[in-house]
Amino acid sequence: MSEMCEKQVLLGMSADDIAKLPLCEGFRARQIYGHLMDGRTFDEMTSLPKELRAALSSKYVASPVEILRIFKGKSGTKKYLYRLLDGGLIEGVYMPHDYGDTLCISTQIGCRMGCKFCASGLDGLLRNLTPAEMLGEVICANRENGGTAKKRAVTNIVLMGSGEPFDNYDNVLAFLDAVSAEGGINISERNISLSTSGVAPKIRQFAMSGHKVTLSISLHAPFDALRSSLMPINKAYPIAEVISAARYYFEKTGRRVIFEYTLIKGENDSDACAKELARLTRGFPAHVNLIRLNEVKESALKTPEKDATEAFKNKLTEIGVSATIRRSLGGDIEGACGQLRRRYLEENGEGEGK
Tally of CB atoms within 10 A around 235: 10
Determine contact, residues 253/209, Cβ cutoff 8 Å.
Answer: no
Determine contact, residues 338/93, Cβ cutoff 8 Å.
Answer: no
Instruction: Give the integer Cα–Cα distance in Å for 286 and 181.
Output: 28
Residue type, 307: D
Determine contact, residues 81/340, Cβ cutoff 8 Å.
Answer: yes
Task: Please name the residues in contact with 238: beta carbons below 8 A apart, sequence gap of 6 or more.
Answer: 224, 227, 228
Residue spans of alpha helices (H) in 95-194: 131-144, 169-179
Residue spans of alpha helices (H) in 231-325: 239-253, 271-281, 306-318
What does the DSSP 8-state code read for residue 229?
Answer: H
Instruction: Give the integer Cα–Cα distance in Å for 64 and 9.
Output: 7
Looking at 24, 91, 104, 164, which residue is catalytic?
91
Is 337 a residue of the active site? Answer: yes
Instruction: Give the integer Cα–Cα distance in Å for 203 and 217.
Output: 9
Is 51 a residue of the active site? Answer: no
Question: Exposed, middle or buried: residue 318 (CB in 10 Å: 0-12, 13-18, 19+)?
Answer: exposed
Tally of CB atoms within 10 A around 82: 23
Residue type, 229: S
Determine contact, residues 109/129, Cβ cutoff 8 Å.
Answer: yes
Looking at 115, 276, 337, 346, which residue is catalytic?
337
Residues serving a catalytic function are 91, 337
